[in-house]
Chains A and B, each alone.
Chain A
Amino acid sequence: MRGVQIFSGNSHPRLAETICERLGTVPAKANLGKFANGETSVNIDTSVRNQDVYIIQSGSEKINDSVMELLIMISACKGGSAKSITAVMPYFPYSRQSKKKSHRGAITARMLANLLTIAGVDHVITMDLHASQMQGFFGKPVDNLFAEPFIARWIRMNVAGWKDAVVVSKNAGGTKRVTSLADTLKLNFGIVTTDRRRPKVPVATMSDSTVFFDAVDDDSRIAKESQPFELHMHSAHRAPATPPIPEEREPTTPPSERYLLRPETPPAARRLSELEAACEYTDVRVRDVITGRLVQGQLVDDDYRINEESHSGGTTPGAGSSSHDNTDIITDAMANSIISNASSQPPDHALGGSFDAVESDDEASVCGGPTDERTITLVGEVRDRSVFLVDDMIDKSGSWIAAAETVVKRGGASKVYCIATHGLFGENSLDQMEACRSIDHIVVTNTFPISPSMLRRSKKLIVIDVSSLLAESIRRHHYGESVSALFHLND
């Protein structure tokens, strides 16, 4: 391509080389380094006057250095009279901080967008933004490419029996991504969601109520007030294992779930299109809601105890008297209001984080204090099928492992593929996922650099090359062709 200079930042030179190879060129010469004091130094060693400049920079372990390097390179090219400057950012740093998630939190993604504009960028090419609304943060055009066609193609070519598999969203926030993949592959889908609030179990029915009042004594009431939550959890799981009854669901259930789990409406109440849809798709309406308990991010059995003190009677598992169980249930009902208040203002999140934030990114969503217990819910039928657990990025492993274990141990899935676009693998999450027996394969794309030692060490990790997509988008952008064809892959 004439009149084009493609520069590579230090974060992911291999991706840049592959892209350049596909475009039949080599990365333009630039000298990137650091001054003695740690300031980033950039020298552009080739003329960029009146040329279209593309700068490829992903994240890296030193993400702020990568960001600064990109900004300085853009600024240097701007000062060198480039005709246009396009930042190619396969992984957009700080994309998870795209909303004010707590009081006085910064919207860093928007700030980064502004910084890029100020540095002199004219166009941004990125992939699978955490929230596609982020395109609105820029005053400049943004091409948000999707890795989904590549992932779909990989599944078609490499997974035996993929037609019987189920696509499962790892959290309720990412459901859109999942339904889109499920649609492409024409597969059923499900959701795994962790919930710090009440577990989804049947609430006490009226027939029990007479027993309740008889059974309440002062001792147990005091004990319950001190530990209302644990007690409630305990009692909830000891309740008779009847299938969940949607009508008795608490109003605190998130809207998405309420939709999925709403009681069957009589056919007359349905719109015609809904009836048609029901006829057209053979998939069974979601009846099975499987819940599990997560304590400190670990899936535990229903009779697992957090600590003995929470049980006023001191009964041994399985030997609890029926009156004891009943008193538990009544406190459950009494403590309801307290619990719902607590969930709207989680005490452990006085600083930083809110429920909303936890829902969309997995930061700290499955780890907490020793008594921190959550409910993990699996909606959808996965028994004896392969499961594609999907989200946009893998950073921490906790939520992935919890979801995989739920799907396998509770749902009875035969195989689990963890699939994400961006494999960040913070801390030693890859090793942890490697060690988890419920996970069979980890599939990511090469948008984010993965060190060769990690690749060698991991037997489960599969990396899909998306350089052709980025290369094609650069080519099309340069020649002024439409990029929209890249959103679907025809093969």
Chain B
Amino acid sequence: MSTNSIKLLTGNSHPELANLVADRLGIELTKIMVLQYSNQETSVTIGESVRDEDVFILQSTKPDDINDGLMELLIMINACKTASARRITAVIPNFPYARQDKKDKSRAPITAKLMANMLQTAGCNHVITMDLHASQIQGFFNVPVDNLYAEPSMLKYIRENLDVSNCVIVSPDAGGAKRPRTNLGVSVSATAIADRLDLQFALIHKERARPNEVSRMVLVGNVKDKVAIIVDDMADTCGTLAKAAETVMQHGATEVNAIVVHGILSGKAIENLNGSCLKRIIVSNTVPLGDKIERCDKIKTIDISPTLAEACRRTHNGESVSFLFSHTVG
């Protein structure tokens, strides 16, 4: 008799998040051994039966170690598939290569599409992710993709920790403002957050020469004597963020905070943050932060594991997930 219960597996990328999700679900993580051979090839062994089970594989990606995390994920999916799992759901809080989603130059690879194909080839039946850089990536898949939002959790954090009446929401990217004003089918939208909190809104127009480089910034809107909250979907080297914060301060804001879903914080991010005029940067725990919180006291975290756990539970039980698009859980 098969129980068809939830099995949650995780690789080496983000065990903390996996433990939080497992705790929320009230289950134990499935025993699994993920290690590397002496020649750095990844080896996966699943320690208990997954036959006819509903398997969820949670894998985030560590900056600098993305390809290893990715191969781990693919091999885990494949191992479950060959072990006759009933359904395999990849839970990828921060979708890797999401920014390479279009052929913006001649012969540029659409790596996000390649990722989608690879996951499906490995044997993935369902994908749960969070705040995709471009929602169109859902269309790269032929299997269902649930794109969750950190927005409800972010709203909750802002309401609880900041003086909402005196805030202004700033979008650091014209693209972030252009997104539709509904919170369904949207990535992190500064305007949506502004709407929900009933706040004023400003945007920064930037001219980008190359990725991770910003040449010039123009602020549109009024931030004078207000607490500015910069909203974005990911913070990488934070060069843009630091410049945006500076621009906002120059325009008379009293303090500036940033709230970001994926705190990748790679390269010189910590130096950039420590040197910037940002008061704090709030990131979710989709990406493992490691020792970065100790190295930069401006970093605050939001725990999004309840949302992921609830999505897993609802997916397993065949309930609607759309409630999570606008509500926090727990």
Contacts and interface: CB of A to CB of B under 8 A. Distances in A.
Q: What interface size band does chain B fall in?
A: 35 or more
Contacts of B157: none
A106 B75 contact: yes
Given A100-B82, A352-B33, A79 B40 contact: no
Given A72-B114, A76-B107, A76-B109, A363 B37 contact: yes
A105 interface: yes
A342 interface: no
A424 B38 CA distance: 9
B41 A93 contact: yes
A97 B39 CA distance: 13
Interface of A: 35-45, 47-48, 59, 61-65, 67-68, 71-73, 75-77, 79-80, 93-94, 96-97, 100, 102-108, 111, 114-115, 117-119, 351-352, 363, 395-396, 424, 426-427, 429
Contacts of B237: 36
A89 to B, nearest CB: 14
Closest CB pairs A-B (n = 8) = A426-B38, A106-B79, A76-B109, A80-B107, A104-B83, A104-B46, A44-B107, A36-B267
A103 B49 CA distance: 8
B143 to A, nearest CB: 14
A12 B105 CA distance: 27
Interface stretch (B66-74, B145-153, B316-324): B66-74
A67 B65 contact: no
Given A79-B110, A104-B79, A67 B66 contact: no
Nearest to B239: A36
Nearest to A363: B37
Given A75-B111, A352-B43, A40 B266 contact: no
A58 to B, nearest CB: 12
7 contacts: A37-B236, A44-B106, A67-B67, A102-B45, A108-B41, A108-B75, A426-B37
Given A36-B237, A396-B38, A75 B114 contact: yes
A43 B267 contact: no
Contact of B40 (A62, A115, A352): A62
A169 to B, nearest CB: 21
B296 to A, nearest CB: 16
Given A43-B107, A79-B103, A93-B41, A105 B79 contact: yes
A447 to B, nearest CB: 13
Given A44-B106, A64-B68, 15 more contacts: A35-B211, A36-B63, A39-B111, A48-B107, A62-B67, A67-B67, A71-B118, A76-B108, A80-B107, A102-B45, A107-B82, A111-B121, A395-B39, A396-B38, A429-B38
B50 interface: yes
Interface in B260-311: 264, 266-267
A63 B40 contact: yes
Interface of B: 31, 33, 37-47, 49-50, 62-68, 70-71, 74-76, 78-80, 82-83, 96-97, 99-100, 103, 105-111, 113-114, 117-118, 121-122, 211-212, 236-237, 264, 266-267
Contacts of A363: 37
A363 B38 CA distance: 9
Contacts of B109: 42, 72-73, 75-76, 79
A297 to B, nearest CB: 14
Nearest to B38: A426
A102 B113 CA distance: 32
B45 A37 contact: no
Nearest to A113: B121
Nearest to B269: A36
B118 A40 contact: no
B128 to A, nearest CB: 21
Max count, chain A CB within 10 A of own CB: residue among B38, B49, B70 = B38
B63 A111 contact: no
Contacts of B49: 103-104
A40 B67 contact: yes
B200 to A, nearest CB: 32
Nearest to B69: A64
A261 B146 CA distance: 62
B43 A43 contact: no
Contacts of B63: 36-38
A259 B74 CA distance: 41
B70 A64 contact: yes
A119 B117 contact: yes
Tell which of A104, A114, A426, A429 has the most Cβ of chain B within 10 Å: A104
A94 B78 CA distance: 14
B107 A104 contact: no
Contacts of B42: 64, 108
A111 B39 contact: no
Nearest to A61: B40
B41 A94 contact: yes
Contacts of A114: 121-122
Nearest to A71: B114
A402 to B, nearest CB: 16
A103 B83 contact: yes
Contacts of B41: 63-64, 93-94, 96-97, 108
A378 B37 CA distance: 28
Contacts of B105: 43
